[in-house]
Structure 1
Amino acid sequence: QALPSLKQLQRSGIDPARIVFEITELGGASARLPGVVERYREAGARIAIDDFGAGYSQLDRVLALQPDILKLDMRLFQQAARGGPSSEVVKALAQMAEKTGCWIIAEGVETEAELDFALECGARYVQGYLFAKPEEAFFSSHAFVKRFAQLRDHYVQQKLAERARLMTLRQQLGELMNSFKAWIEDGAQPDQLPQPHATPWLLRIFQCDRHGTQLTANLEWREHAWHSDARYVGHNWSWRPYFYQLLAEGWEERRLILSSTYRDATTNQYCLTAGQFIDNGKRLLLIDIDAAGF
């Protein structure tokens, strides 16, 4: 049978290419839904999944329907914008959407911080009270251009400031790495360890062979003193993303490589790891950093 909604479009003379059919939460999977979606597509319309990340809007639906648009669940999005584990989950969902060719819509954007988070997630569109409450009449297509331009520029300045902090961090890491390399080359005497009082974000240093096996105890910097932890000697870390990033990017030039932020499975902290080859490429010197300040 012809779908009533498509019949309605034909009667009204509206081009289906201007229409997005939104799939709301359903109580379980519908075997007929993929066929209905395909008919909308054949007519030239696009498909959105609403409230993605909540209720029955699960990943299997995305794989089955291959929507054009994913609308993030408002409660999940607003919680994620405040930080914490849900923030990483929503970013991962957004990355997944990007890889499958979906556009992201962030709903419930009510503060500048929530807009910043939406942009961080790569949202193509945003909607919420930050701009206006719903009105019966349509807004002008240019109604929010000036306001959004101001907010966007503020976001870009924030990202530039983050980049500047990262550049400063890289410089400090380079100096710190050189001091530890000199200490190792001088015999690695415990009583001669550098005292990194100017780098409160330092968590630990350790050495691995070039295959990822830890050779030395962790030297942990806490409460303004060094502490040794030998539990991880012999463990192999070659599977960790920062390690194969080092092998891929740091081997030829022997330069310092800084990983992306990740959550450490042992301490549950968000960390970055800096590493550099030493001893003519036979070993790796690694520095773990508390990412909370960055």
Structure 2
Amino acid sequence: MFNGQPLPFFQPLIDTATGRIAGYEALARLKDDQGQIVSAGPLFTDPSVDPVDLLELDRTIRRQAFEAFRDNPAGFISVNISPLWVSQLVPGEPLPSLELLKEIGLPPEQVVFEITELQGNIQDLSDAVRRYREAGIRIAIDDFGAGSSMLDRVLALEPDILKLDIQLFRRAASGKGNSGDFVKALALMAEKSGCWIIAEGVETEQELHFALECGARYVQGYLFARPAENFLPADAVQAEFARMRDDYARSKLAEREKLAELRGTLGNLFAELVQWLAKGGDPADLPSPAQYPWLLRCFLCDAHGTQISPNYEWTEKRWQPDARFLDHNWSWRPYFYQILSEAGQGSRIILSSRYRDATSNQYCITSGLFIDDSRHLLLVDIDTSRI
């Protein structure tokens, strides 16, 4: 057994489209005799705690949360639900949570169930989720991205909402490694499958900016409000959120201006490279790297994407040819068809999305321009850390 009075705390979820509080997550807390509040979360992963006691604690807090929310704000309330417990229900029997909602009088449409772990039988869980959804409840998967089997859950349960794993999200928002690209790919997958994204654990404006870049519909964290026993007015953080969202918009505009400046400089570089080719293409005559410090390499392909020149790279204080990639065809690269679409008269400079270069292990973007009446494709690789 555990010590303390169980009670729910509530943390708001902010709608990024409006800045208003759209709903709350109910979190389990215990109050001791001295009035100190502690999280009950660790109990649910402690193998020494009796599962029967845990189930009783969970249902007690869920009832309290539903009763409090019924009498307070509009929007939705999100509660955790254990797949292990769901899989232990008797098939065909009434679902306790649905019975509880009927008893309390809280519309199921105002409820989100968060699937919190990977335990339990997936088929039993799928059947229960179907019944929850038929009643009007929305389904979220928590800690999305934390494990490979999570993708199996997404495919099996077809959730309405995906909640990014907090540790993965924070690592990605910090800009360390390639986790940012990984999380953005997860978010894009969620968007394509019709899911909304929740970014939780947002504590800094940098993390908020990353959440917005991922297309998060809802954000949650100490930057907006800590979990509390009571609810806030719907517009409690709207003004401050609008300011932070405007800051994000300005930062994205600054990025676009930087890219526009890069395009202008690339225009000068491509003009020099065209002249360089016309003069015979001697590596010694390539532009000075001091003018273009972000330039990793340049090379020439035919109109079908097959490389017909060596790579020219600045090493040992001079431009040197690297013939290893002659006759390699790059038409499989996503950027190739971006550039191909611009072939012909009036073709313009195209920039690829950022990627990790396999040769240098650096983050790059590739820029290309068709020349010679679209018979040849001139390409340059750019070190994004030097832009």
TM-score by length of 2: 0.73
Aligned length: 294
Q: Which residue identity does 1:86 align to in structure 2?
A: S
Q: Could you give the per-residue CA deviations for residues 125-154 of structure 1, whole angstroms, max 9, x where no partner exists?
A: 111111121110011111110111111111
Higher relative contact order (CA 8 A, sep 6+): 2
Q: Could you give the per-residue CA deviations for residues 139-196 of structure 1, whole angstroms, max 9, x where no partner exists?
A: 1111110111111111111001001000000000011001100111122233322224
Runs of 5+ consecutive residues of structure 1 not aligned to the other structure: none
2:336 counterpart residue number: 243
**Identity percentage of aligned residues:** 61
Q: Kindly tell me: are residues 208 and 86 of structure 1, through their superposed partners in 2, closer, same or farther at Cα, counting changes over 3 Å?
A: same
1:98 counterpart residue number: 191
What is the CA-CA distance between 1:113 and the residue it aligns to?
0.8
> 2:77 aligned with 1:16, yes or no?
no
> 2:152 aligned with 1:75, yes or no?
no
SS of 2:341 mapped into structure 1? helix
Aligned partner of 2:229 among 102, 118, 136: 136
Runs of 5+ consecutive residues of structure 2 not aligned to the other structure: 1-92
What is the CA-CA distance between 1:214 and the residue it aligns to?
0.7
Q: Is the 8 A contact 1:206 1:286 kept in 2?
A: yes
1:285 counterpart residue number: 378
CA RMSD of aligned residues (A): 1.5
Query: Which deviates the most, 129-138 or 219-228?
Result: 219-228
Q: Is the 8 A contact 2:345 2:373 kept in 1?
A: no
Q: Is the 8 A contact 2:205 2:244 kept in 1?
A: yes
What CA distance in whole angstroms lies between the structure 2 residues aligned with 1:187 and 1:29?
A: 68
Q: Which residue identity does 1:242 align to in structure 2?
A: Y
Aligned partner of 1:47 among 139, 142, 145: 139
Dislocated runs of 4+, deviation >4 Å:
none
What is the CA-CA distance between 1:31 and the residue it aligns to?
1.7
Aligned partner of 2:219 among 119, 126, 134: 126
User: Larger radius of gyration, structure 1 or 2?
Assistant: 2
- List aligned pairs for 1:1-294, cutoff 5 A: 1-27=93-119, 29-55=121-147, 58-83=150-175, 84-222=177-315, 224-251=317-344, 253-294=346-387
SS of 1:163 mapped into structure 2? helix
SS of 1:22 mapped into structure 2? strand
Q: Is the 8 A contact 2:126 2:157 kept in 1?
A: yes
